[in-house]
Chain A
Amino acid sequence: MSKKREDYEKSFWYKISSFVNDGKSFATKEIKEEKHIVEEDKSINIVPMSPWDTEEIERTGLYDSYKHWSFEGILKRAQKFYGVFSVLVCVLIIGILLYSISKLPRFGNAENPVNNEVSKRYIEQGIEETGAVNIVTGMILDYRAFDTLGESHVLFTACIVVFILLRLDSKDQKTLEEAEADDRNFEPKNDTILQKVTRLLVPPVFIFGIYVILNGHLSPGGGFSGGAIIGAGLILYLNAFGFKKTGKFFTLRLHKIISIIALGFYSLSKSYSFFTGANHLESFIPKGTPGNILSSGLILPLNIAVGMVVACTMYGFYVMFRKGGYK
């Protein structure tokens, strides 16, 4: 507890704060609260005792003296120790990391050990083996497709967890009304400027998102980034027109259907290609000419599936954090 000064009301800070707060200084409130705490302390009458009080230890024995320590004294001491110790740990870790950075080879050098035979293989044979012009997409959706499958499932699982934690109980009418009022307090409703701009902006946002998804194997982009763009467009639409309009087409049912179809398609198609690949069988999926939209085998449908999952998840996160329901 800080020291209380008697001449506090004459100080400069008090004048500023009373000016800012229109005469009702929060400083006085703080003083009152402090007084309150002091009175409480007296009424409980805890005598904080040092753990290193040697006389007490000699008199009662070490174990009994532990029992008499006041909890708040320990807490205060532990917090002080924690502050000092955490600063030390942070400085130590940053120091160790900076030291190891200073021993690294130079930035942007082609001879660095990172650029080894793995990246050579991906660059030189990736376009033959996957058919994707964008090597990164070919890598994450063909060579490392199992990893991307896990990623989409991580997103889906996170979405489920957020639903479990934040979804409203839809049977109780009173809580629903309260949530509606709460939502109206903090979010814009029927803002004309926002609505006009949204009418202009949302169609290009959706088209750009679809373009990024469909061109994932030809240019920078792919399922994750395109899905995030479409999700952002949905969120903008919701902010402008409210839950009544979006609730008509984007419901929990649609979210479930899209997620199940996309993840199921991903799992089934990729298990087929893993099966044929592991057993050296011929796959009937054509590779196509690299550079065309309809090429590179499974990568385009997988990008679409991932994009759908990501868009739904982004929108689901926003809706759950804002209100806890789709309507």
Chain B
Amino acid sequence: MIGLFNNLEATTAIIVFGIGFTTLMLNRNMIKKIIGFDMMDCGMYLFLASKGYIEGRLAPIVVNGITDMDAYINPIPAGLVLTGIVVSVSVSAVMLSLTIRLYRKYHTLDIDEIMMRAREEGDDE
């Protein structure tokens, strides 16, 4: 338990991730599923960004020509988070557009109902 309080940022990240995962699993509305997915992404960014931080150091932008490792925080997680954000924006856009197409065809966002109707149509053919 004490370990959790040593890493409050990481604990928060995992809780956000868990809320997102539960939303993804338990909701049948596709828009809410996508919201859950994006919350999982946000949890991961928070986790990565918190891993790069070092207490009492500056952001990794060189000031006054000091190039010493002890002056700046770790720049690698920032780059990884940037990659993650871009990919998550693209994936959300594709998921939302697919949802719009499904809604136009079946007039519902309930994933089970869409599956049932799609199966019925498949039987007819």
What residues of chain A have their CB less than 8 Å away from a CB belonging to chain B? 79, 83, 86-87, 89-90, 93-94, 97-98, 101-110, 112, 114-115, 118-120, 122-127, 133-136, 139-140, 144, 147-148, 151, 154-155, 157-159, 161-162, 165-166, 218-220, 224, 290, 317, 320-321
Contacts and interface: CB of A to CB of B under 8 A. Distances in A.
In the A-B complex, the 10 residue pairs with the closest CB atoms:
A102-B3, A158-B90, A108-B55, A94-B18, A86-B25, A135-B60, A165-B97, A90-B22, A106-B6, A119-B74
Interface of B: 1-4, 6-11, 14-15, 17-18, 21-22, 25-26, 50-55, 57, 59-62, 67-72, 74-79, 82-83, 85-87, 89-91, 93-94, 96-98, 100-101, 112
A135 B54 contact: no
A81 B67 CA distance: 58
B61 A90 contact: no
6 contacts: A108-B53, A120-B69, A125-B67, A135-B60, A136-B60, A166-B100
Contacts of A89: 25
A112 B77 CA distance: 14
Given A89-B25, A110-B54, A114-B74, A101 B93 contact: no
A104 B93 contact: no
A109 B55 contact: yes
B4 A101 contact: yes
Contacts of B55: 108-110
Contacts of B89: 155, 158
A123 B70 CA distance: 10
Given A90-B25, A136-B60, A166-B101, A115 B74 contact: yes
A108 B60 CA distance: 15
Nearest to B28: A79
Given A101-B14, A107-B9, A124 B4 contact: no
A104 B83 CA distance: 24
Given A98-B14, A119-B75, 11 more contacts: A90-B22, A94-B14, A101-B11, A102-B1, A102-B4, A106-B6, A108-B53, A108-B54, A123-B60, A158-B93, A321-B96
A140 B80 CA distance: 9
B90 A122 contact: no
A98 B59 CA distance: 28
A114 B52 contact: yes
B79 to A, nearest CB: 5
Nearest to B26: A86
Contacts of A220: 59, 61
